[in-house]
A and B are shown apart, each in its own frame.
Chain A
Amino acid sequence: MTLRLRTTTFVAAAALCAGLAPALAEPADAELVINDEVTIKTVAPAAEHLKGHLDTVYSGWLFREDETRAMEMDDFDNPNMVFAEQAMEVWSTPEGTENKSCADCHGAIEEGMMGVRAKMPKINAAGDLWSLENYVNDCRTNRMGAEAWKWNSQDMKNMTVAISVQSRGMPVAVEIDGPAQSHWEKGKEMYYTRYGQLELSCANCHEDNYGNFIRADHLSQGQVAGFPVYRLKDANIVSIHQRFVGCIRDTRAETFAAGSQEFIDLELYVASRGYGLDIEGAGVRP
């Protein structure tokens, strides 16, 4: 990666991760500024609870090729925005037996959903830990009288992208104490548990080997602040749980289902590993 970067406008900085073994490829020394307006924090000192595991946290954006990184820096080039625009129309379209739209309760998405994504997943009024998708479907079924969207349906992913854009540049702000703590502990246990025939835990790749090649791609730290992301290889949006399924499948294990309590707990723990990073408002990944 260092060699590649030297040939471009981005300058590789070996000094950035002096703590890493020399064989590792360093994350790019680049600044993520979207539309020349919003600066996204992609490097931060690791949170207190990561002591002994990580010193610095990096967004997955820093591990990607120059061209892929550039796509995220301009909304016109970011393929997520086409889908976000479709969701904006749905936002103000009445639906269901109550004939209500999202906008009827929440107002303009720019105001009503500001900062929401940064706090997800979050404990709901009944004391359960819910992801953004759960909240969307709760509104749809209980307030609008409409059908719930499937977790990884296009409608749901479009909407979560549109909502995430409204938290762009805001720091990850999940709560991990109080009623969320037991969920967080479970998520942490999952993170360090080896799964599948290959007996790999999340940490084996994303903590011990980030920056190294996994086949033709560089492993990131597995941060979720950039999610939902547009993946070029899928030509579509990928949700956090979809990514979890992909990782666990790659360990040759039976995966949990998208939307399962296990994944919501894991999502909370992984989100908390990104304390200090900013929500990217829909990243672009290869």
Chain B
Amino acid sequence: MADNVKPRVKVPSKASAGEVVTLKTLISHPMESGQRKDKDGNLIPRSIINRFTCEFNGAMVIDVTLEPSISTNPYFEFDAKVDASGDFKFTWYDDDGSVYEDAKSIEVA
């Protein structure tokens, strides 16, 4: 597992029914591209987050494939329409098989 991997998400705690809310996510990760070489000229192996998903009450909101050119600490900002209270579940998939998760609930008045 890459060092210092820590997911963070920002979701409004309240919304009105049918409102479009903005979600922000950030995960600290080196996103080593696999193209760089170390001091001795050896290739540094690729180590990136290759997939990111967000689900709301089990329904997929966004499903992203990440490629090696994405920079350190990938940041996503996207909108979702919420009709009812529930939980946003965020999942990041690492090249090495690690899965990082975070969740935030939202209350719809």
Contacts and interface: CB of A to CB of B under 8 A. Distances in A.
Interface string A59-82: 000000000000000001101001
Contacts of B28: 82, 85-86
Nearest to B77: A77
Contacts of B46: none
Contacts of A82: 6, 26, 28, 73
Given A77-B24, A235-B71, A235-B72, A86 B4 contact: yes
Interface residues of A, number: 7
A79 B8 CA distance: 12
A94 B102 CA distance: 29
A255 B85 CA distance: 59
Given A82-B73, A235-B71, A235-B72, A76 B26 contact: yes
A235 B8 CA distance: 19
Contacts of A76: 8, 10, 24, 26
A85 B6 contact: yes
Interface in B56-85: 71-73, 75
Nearest to A85: B6
Contacts of B73: 79, 82
Interface in A68-110: 76-77, 79, 82, 85-86
Question: Looking at chain B's contact residues, is the secondary structure mostly helix, strand, loop, or mixed?
Answer: strand
Nearest to A79: B73
A85 B10 CA distance: 16
Interface string B1-27: 000101010100000000000001010
A76 B4 CA distance: 17
A50 B62 CA distance: 54
A238 to B, nearest CB: 16
Interface in A184-231: none
Nearest to A82: B28
A76 B10 CA distance: 8
Nearest to B4: A86
B21 to A, nearest CB: 14
Contacts of A235: 71-72
A171 B99 CA distance: 44
A235 B70 CA distance: 12
Contacts of A85: 6, 28
A15 B4 CA distance: 47
17 contacts: A76-B8, A76-B10, A76-B24, A76-B26, A77-B24, A77-B75, A79-B73, A82-B6, A82-B26, A82-B28, A82-B73, A85-B6, A85-B28, A86-B4, A86-B28, A235-B71, A235-B72
The 10 closest A-B pairs by CB, nearest first: A82-B28, A76-B10, A76-B24, A82-B73, A86-B4, A235-B72, A235-B71, A79-B73, A76-B26, A85-B6
Given A76-B10, A76-B24, A82-B6, 6 more contacts: A76-B8, A76-B26, A79-B73, A86-B4, A86-B28, A235-B71
Interface of B: 4, 6, 8, 10, 24, 26, 28, 71-73, 75
